[in-house]
């Protein structure tokens, strides 16, 4: 049972435009969400996170939006750059439950076309 | 360099064999997590160790086992290998509370079973 779902396996965007990556989750107890970026032949790297007490978190070109009622979050990248081409993983966790493993989605491959 | 070291980077072995994957966590991190990424699958959680003790178990097969040593490095042992065990195996480490800090991933070990 996939608790974290990224329903779009891939996405292509023109350079300079907005990239929107979506993620849905089923467990309403999740209260902390993260996005990771993965380049080929490298491990995933942390990008941005948001706790359930917020509905938006921004870091430079990257913004994550959380809609708790819809159990949905999205990552916006503006403007998109060719170096953003990577696989993006959404992950969820329980903030106050100690060392609990992150639950990851299957990832979305973003291609930014110059 | 993320600070998490995984060896070997690549491994090719035959069905029925046994292999050991090694992970050295980032300095100061007590938690080690093992994840498997198969084709078209996300990052599937296998097992977590915290300061030498098993903390959580995910979808880890009985043919697989792991341990964390006093120096905090960890090993993942895969035995009676099958073709379907071919995957990328990632190790990640974290400070005390994973959700607060996210994980730091190694670059992975690509296992090919032939």
Which tens digits make up the pLDDT trace of B16-31? 999 999 999 999 899 9
Across chain B, the runs of DSSP E, i.e. the strands, are 5-7, 10-13, 19-24, 31-37, 43-50, 53-57, 64-68, 74-78, 87-94, 104-105, 109-113
B108 contacts on A by Cβ (under 8 Å)? 42-43
Mean pLDDT for the stretch of residues A53-70 = 97
Q: What is the mean pLDDT of chain B?
A: 92
Mean pLDDT for the stretch of residues A44-48 = 94
Least confident of A35-49, A90-104, B30-44: A90-104
Chain B residue with CA closest to A90: the answer is: B42
pLDDT tens digits, B70-112: 999 999 999 999 999 999 999 999 876 555 567 899 999 999 9
Q: Do B45 and A43 touch (CB under 8 A)?
A: no
Q: Do A101 and B33 touch (CB under 8 A)?
A: yes
Question: What pLDDT was estimated at residue B28?
Answer: 87
Q: What percent of chain A has pLDDT over 70?
A: 96
């Amino acid at each position: 049972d996939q608790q974290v779902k990224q329903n779009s396996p891939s996405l292509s965007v023109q350079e300079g435009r907005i990239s929107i990556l979506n993620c849905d989750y089923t467990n309403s107890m999740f209260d902390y969400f993260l996005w990771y970026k993965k380049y080929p032949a490298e491990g995933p790297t942390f990008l941005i996170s948001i706790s359930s007490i917020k509905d938006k978190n921004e870091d430079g070109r990257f913004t994550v939006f959380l809609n708790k009622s819809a159990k949905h979050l999205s990552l916006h990248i503006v403007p998109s750059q060719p170096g953003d081409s990577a696989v993006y993983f959404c992950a969820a966790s329980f903030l106050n439950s100690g060392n609990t493993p992150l639950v990851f989605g299957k990832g979305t491959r973003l291609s930014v076309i110059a | 360099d993320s600070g998490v070291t995984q060896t070997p980077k690549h491994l090719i072995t035959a069905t029925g064999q046994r292999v050991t994957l090694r992970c050295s966590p980032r300095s100061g991190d007590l938690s080690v997590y093992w994840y498997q990424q198969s084709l078209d699958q996300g990052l599937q959680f296998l097992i977590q160790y915290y300061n030498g003790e098993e903390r959580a178990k995910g979808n880890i097969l009985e043919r697989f086992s792991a341990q964390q040593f006093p120096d905090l490095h960890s090993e993942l042992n895969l035995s009676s290998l099958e073709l379907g065990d071919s995957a990328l195996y990632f190790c990640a480490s974290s400070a005390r509370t994973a959700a607060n800090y996210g994980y730091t991933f190694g670059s992975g070990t690509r296992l090919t079973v032939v």
